């Protein structure tokens, strides 16, 4: 059995670890509140943007490469992960899903490329020799559109220049503080707009110049906004996952401290009993 000093050392060490995990839990909870607000606040803009794009695209015979499906020779995967760990399965879940998709759908590295947003995903793809076309790390916990503007524009430009024939987005969708779901979304081409055209639109827009000129500017901005919206969603998921993981770590530390304290008390009681027995035995020996 470990000595009392060793057990007490373990208790003190576990208490220090608990202080760290508790602090990280509280910080993540604070960040989650703001990230969730940011994600929800962006939804009305995204919905209105989609409504305008749908109406303009349906108003005439305007065409745009981002609306047209073509033969897929190369797929781009935009993967959003975190820069840090200690977030449970947040990073591993999305990376596993992307890797499984690549393994099932592609037989050659020339058939796909990866756009990595986040250090965790970037490092994984580099370690496994997967082709990386673009990367961005060091995104803030509460990102602005300017933080993602460049890589979002480059991803859209890759599609327009036919470097890739489709762009698929992978990220963790925020359901609640305890539930995050790995989501894949075909970002380009914007085929989902055709399904929206059949819906009645309350607002009517008068616009100039013609629809084709407007879509030339509006569609890239719309695609970039979808990427930004997914990033906000992913950030909320990241903070929620880290908060949950740190809460679990804190709970485990409490259980560990309780177990060690019980072991310490038992060992201390045994030592006291042993000392009493030795004193009684010594006194009896002197009397005989």
DSSP for 172-239, please give it. EEEEETTEEEEEEEEEES-THHHHHHTS--S-----SS-HHHHHHHHHHHHHHHHHHHHHHHHHHHHH
So what's the pLDDT on residue 140? 95
CATH class of the domain whose range is 29-244: alpha beta
Q: How many CB atoms lie within 10 A of CB 260?
A: 20
So what's the pLDDT on residue 198? 44
CATH classification number, 4-24+245-282, choose in 1.10.287.80, 1.20.1260.10, 3.40.50.261, 3.90.1150.10: 1.10.287.80
Q: How many CB atoms lie within 10 A of CB 21?
A: 19
In the three-class reduction of DSSP (H, G, I as helix; E, B as strand; rest coil), residue 56 is classed as helix
Q: Which of 183, 173, 180, 175 is nearest to 241 (CA)?
A: 180
Domain residue ranges in the chain: 4-24+245-282, 29-244
CA pair distance 259, 279, nearest whole angstrom: 30
Q: Check: pTM over 0.75? Answer yes or no.
A: yes
Q: Which of 151, 133, 142, 122 is nearest to 223 (CA)?
A: 151
pLDDT tens by residue, the chain, 288 residues? 578 889 999 999 999 999 999 999 999 999 999 999 999 999 999 998 888 888 887 776 667 889 888 999 999 999 999 999 999 999 999 999 999 999 999 999 999 999 999 999 999 999 999 999 999 999 999 999 999 999 999 999 999 999 999 999 999 999 999 999 999 999 999 887 655 544 545 556 677 777 888 888 899 999 999 999 999 999 999 999 999 999 999 999 999 999 999 999 998 898 888 888 888 887 777 776
So what's the pLDDT on residue 123? 96
């Amino acid at each position: 059995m470990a000595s009392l000093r060793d057990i007490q050392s373990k208790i003190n060490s576990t208490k220090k670890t608990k202080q760290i995990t508790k602090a990280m839990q509280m910080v993540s909870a604070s960040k989650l509140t703001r990230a969730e607000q940011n994600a929800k606040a962006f939804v009305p803009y995204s919905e209105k943007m989609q409504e305008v794009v749908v109406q303009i695209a349906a108003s005439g015979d305007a065409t745009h490469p981002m609306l047209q499906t073509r033969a897929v020779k190369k797929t781009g995967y935009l993967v959003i992960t975190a820069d840090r760990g200690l977030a449970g399965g947040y990073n591993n879940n999305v990376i596993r899903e992307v890797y499984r998709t690549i393994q099932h759908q592609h037989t050659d590295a020339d058939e796909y490329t990866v756009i990595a947003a986040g250090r965790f995903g970037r490092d994984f793809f580099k370690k496994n020799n997967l082709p990386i076309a673009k990367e961005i790390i060091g995104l803030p916990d509460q990102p602005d559109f300017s933080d993602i503007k460049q890589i979002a524009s480059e991803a859209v430009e890759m599609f327009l220049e036919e470097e890739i024939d489709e762009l698929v987005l992978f990220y963790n969708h925020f359901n609640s503080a305890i539930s995050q779901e790995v989501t894949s979304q075909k970002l380009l081409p914007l085929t989902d707009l055709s399904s929206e055209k059949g819906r009645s639109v309350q607002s009517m827009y008068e616009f100039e110049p013609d629809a084709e000129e407007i879509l030339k500017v509006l569609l890239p901005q719309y695609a970039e906004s979808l990427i930004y919206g997914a990033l906000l969603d992913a950030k909320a998921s990241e903070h929620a996952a880290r908060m949950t993981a740190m809460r679990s770590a804190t709970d485990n530390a409490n259980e560990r401290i309780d177990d060690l304290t019980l072991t310490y008390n038992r060992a201390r009681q045994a030592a006291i009993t042993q000392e009493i027995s030795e004193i009684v035995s010594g006194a009896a020996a002197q009397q005989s």
